[in-house]
Amino acid sequence: MSKTEKKKLGLIPKLLIAIGLGTLAGLYMPQWFVKTAVTFSSMFGAFLNFVIPLMIIAFVTKGIADLGEGAGQLLLVTVVIAYASTLIGGSLSYVMSSNIFPAFISPDQVSKIQASTKIGMDPFFEIPIKPFFDVTSSIIFAFMMGIAISWLRKHGKGEYCYNLVGEFNEIITKVLSTAIVPLLPFFIFGNFSKMAFTGSVFAVLSIFWKIFLCVIALHLIYVAVLFIISGTYTKRNPVKLIKNQVKGYLTAIGTQSSVATIPVNLECAKQNSVSKSIRDFVIPLGATVHMPGSMITITACTFTILTMYGMNHSYLLMLRYMAILGIAMVAAPGAPGGAIMSALPFLPVVGIPSEGELASLLMTLYLTQDSFGTAANISGDTAISVAIDKIFNRHIVKNDEYKDGFNEKVINEEDL
């Protein structure tokens, strides 16, 4: 690795710098400068809105096609546990948010934020970019194609379609990594310039840091509980399980990618005595279907936005939103911000437009915490793999050699 690469800033520092510079620009720079930044944000938002349906088709289709190649009962058990864990994480986040966050968000702050939306700061010009598909059409098409390709592959066909979808997936991933994610700091710079100019920025920032601490605390508690449950179920020491996962957790914070952390997480699962066949199946699959950390963050951030703007945030509404996201985030690319990108099309479920100031504010809230959500996701993958190892060996294949808490000998023989 070159010296230049070592000094390269990560996404979170860039976002924090963008927030700070955007705030200063909105407070002290002339109006024409702020309008220029707002114009860029408007154009970027239109482009993002264009890419979203294509992203849904690329990632959801590929995700469903891949999930169809599972190992029968093992696939079903893993997906059900992962989905339930994701929803439970989101529900706990809602409980935390509804009981704690209102104390952070005073009526005075809310009135400042709402009043600022009435102050005009329009871009110099707008370029209308109409998407090829609307969101609903792209979702239906993606599910139809994913299921059809999976069915074709089971019958020895469909490889051409599968490869085509895979290459399209790579194209959209490249667009995200080269055109979307690198420009996000500039997008956020423009949004915070506008908020500073209109007077809402300090009310928003005074809320952000408190949300950040609460979300990280819930991540750690939830992951610890998963390891305690798995350890109790398999008669293994939860403290040892958690200790063996620290390397994977820290790696995920650094990479901000569940996929990039898979090799390290496989080693963590091995240290936690998960058999090779199970860890090789559950860890990569969990990186795409098990998203409790991301769900905790998105739920908390969405609740915050809804509360700040006086919108409906009932549990039934949020549960519907979480149930959809639990499926939609299967499409999340293994790159920084992938989960929130997958969530954007579904914001209208809770009354937030998928583009505009509220969506960009949600993205900012989420992205500043993204690496910790990713770390919770992959740590949760290891925790559930410990339990699934016992379920598979005891109840699916009925392996008499499997023994709770004493699987190390079987593991080592299998790895040779």
Which CATH number characterizes residue 188's domain?
1.10.3860
6 in a structural domain: no
Neighbours of 124 (CB within 10 A): 11
**Could you read off the pLDDT tens digit of each residue along the chain, which spans 416 residues?**
444 445 567 666 777 788 789 889 988 999 899 899 989 888 887 887 788 778 778 876 776 676 544 445 777 888 899 999 999 999 999 999 999 988 877 666 666 665 555 555 678 888 878 878 766 677 678 778 887 887 888 788 888 888 998 899 889 878 877 887 788 788 878 877 887 887 766 666 677 788 889 999 999 999 999 999 999 998 899 999 999 998 888 878 766 667 667 778 888 999 998 887 788 778 877 877 888 999 999 999 889 888 877 788 889 999 999 998 888 776 555 555 667 777 777 888 888 876 666 777 787 778 767 778 888 999 999 999 999 888 887 877 666 666 665 444 444 444 44
Between the alpha carbon of residue 245 and those of residues 7, 31, 294, 415, the distances in Å are 27, 50, 18, 20
- Cα 87 from Cα 323, distance rounded (Å): 7
317 in a structural domain: yes
Amino acid at 339: A
- Cα 91 from Cα 95, distance rounded (Å): 6
237 in a structural domain: yes
Plot region of 22 (φ>0 → left; ψ -120 to 50 → alpha; else → beta) = alpha
22 in a structural domain: yes
1 in a structural domain: no
Residue 94 phi/psi, 5-degree rounding, is -65, -45
- Taking the whole predicted model, whether its pTM rises above 0.75 is answered as no
Q: If you search the block for the tokens 């696939």, which residue do you land on? A: 75
305 in a structural domain: yes
- Cα 223 from Cα 212, distance rounded (Å): 17
100 in a structural domain: yes
Structural domain count of the chain: 1
For residue 211, which of 105, 60, 319, 61 has the smallest C-alpha distance?
A: 105
3 in a structural domain: no
**Residue 350 sits in which domain range?**
11-412
